[in-house]
């Protein structure tokens, strides 16, 4: 599963691990991605979305219909 949120577009960030001796090695900051299944009443079916933890809270606040509309306006497939 790719570390990419369908609703917010959150992707991994990149940076460095810095050791005690100050040597730098590459690292990756992944968003907290979860697969969540929602009932979409307008289409009479379940949809499975790949969302960050922050996006799950957004869906709880705005509703699944508005969230799916946002994903589709971003060009995502649901």
pLDDT at 2: 81
d(CA 3, CA 7): 12
pLDDT at 60 > cutoff 70: yes
* Interval 13-48: pLDDT, tens: 999 999 999 999 999 999 999 999 999 999 999 999
pLDDT at 1: 57
Contact (CB, 8 A) for 3 and 33? yes
């Amino acid at each position: 599963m790719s570390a990419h949120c369908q609703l917010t577009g959150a992707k991994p960030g990149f940076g460095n691990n810095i050791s005690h001796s100050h040597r730098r090695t590459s690292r990756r900051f992944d968003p907290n991605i979860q697969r969540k299944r929602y009932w979409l009443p307008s289409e009479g079916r379940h949809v499975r979305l790949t969302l960050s933890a922050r996006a799950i809270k957004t869906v709880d606040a705005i509703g699944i219909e508005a969230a799916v509309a946002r994903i589709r306006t971003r060009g995502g497939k649901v």
